[in-house]
Structure 1
Amino acid sequence: MRVGVPIFLFLAAAGFHTALTASLESAEKEDTFVGLEQLSDLQKRDQEEFEAAQMSEAVQDENTEEENDTQEEDMNRDGNVEADQHESESDEDVDGMRQTREHLEANVEEADETTNLAEVE
C-alpha cells in the first residue's frame, strides 16, 4: 500500500496538469479567435473609413473641376463681353469717322458750289 499512494498521487497530478494545460490552450485559442474577430472588425472599420475618405476626395475633386470650369466659362464670357465692347467701340469709331467724312464731303461740296457760283457770277 505504501507504493500505491505515491503512484496514485503522481497520476492525479499528471491528470490535473493535463486538464490545466488543455484548459489554458483552449482559453488561448478563444483569445486568439476573439483577437482575430476584433482585428477583423478593426480592418473592416479602417476599410470603410478609407473608402469614405476616397469618396470625399472624389467629391472634392469634382467640385474643384466644376469650379475651374465655371471660372473658365466666366473668363471666356468676360473675354467675349470685352471683345463685344471693343467691337462696339470699333463700330462706333467707324460710324463716327463715316459721319465726319460725310460732313467733310458735304462741306467740300458746298465750298465747290460756292466757288462755282462765284466763278459763274
Structure 2
Amino acid sequence: MRVGVPIFLFLAAAGFHTALTASLESAEKEDTFGDEVGLEQLSDLQKRDQEEFEAAQMSEAVQDENTEEENDTQEEDMNRDGNVEADQHESESDEDVDGMRQKREHLEANVEEADETTNLAEVE
C-alpha cells in the first residue's frame, strides 16, 4: 500500500496538470476566436456605419440641391411677380400721365375759350 499511494498521487497530479493545460489552451482558442470574430463583426459594423454615413450625406446633398432649386424657383417667381407689379405700376403711371394730359388739354381748352370770350367781350 505504501507503494500505491505515491503512484496514485503522481497519476492524480499528472491528470490534474493535463486537465488544467487543456482548459487553458481551450480558453486561449476561444479568446482568439472571439477576437477574430469580434474584429470581423466590428469591421462589418464599421462598414455598415460608413455606408449609412455616406448614404446620409448623399441624401442631405440631394435635399440641399432640392432646397436650393426651390429657393431659386421662388426667387424667379418673386422676380417675375415683381416685374408684373412693376409693369402694372408703369401701366398705372402711364394711365395717370394720360389722365393728367387730358385734364391739361381740357383746362387749356377752357382757358382758350375763356380768353376768346374775354376778347369778344372786349371787342363788343
TM-score exceeds 0.5:
yes
Which sits farther off after the overlay, 110-119 or 100-109?
110-119
The alpha-carbon distance between structure 1 residues 79 and 6, as it changes in their structure 2 partners (threshold 3 A), is: farther
Output one character per residue of 1:52-104: Cα deviation in whole Å (capped at 9) or x when no partner: 01111111111112222222222222222222222221111111001110111
The separation in 2 between residues aligned to 1:77 and 1:25, in whole angstroms, is: 81
The separation in 1 between residues aligned to 2:11 and 2:73, in whole angstroms, is: 87
Tell me, which stretches of 5 or more residues in structure 1 are unaligned? Answer: none
Which sits farther off after the overlay, 56-65 or 68-77?
68-77
Q: Which runs of 4+ in 1 moved over 4 A?
A: 1-33
Tell me, which stretches of 5 or more residues in structure 2 are unaligned? Answer: none
Root mean square deviation of aligned Cα: 3.5
Q: What's the CA shift for 1:25?
A: 4.6
The size of the alignment, in residue pairs, is: 121
Output one character per residue of 1:5-44: Cα deviation in whole Å (capped at 9) or x when no partner: 9889969986996798579757855764522112211111
Matched-pair identity in % = 99
Which sits farther off after the overlay, 25-34 or 72-81?
25-34
The alpha-carbon distance between structure 1 residues 45 and 96, as it changes in their structure 2 partners (threshold 3 A), is: same
Give the structure-2-normalised TM-score: 0.69
Q: What's the CA shift for 1:45?
A: 1.0
Which sits farther off after the overlay, 67-76 or 28-37?
28-37
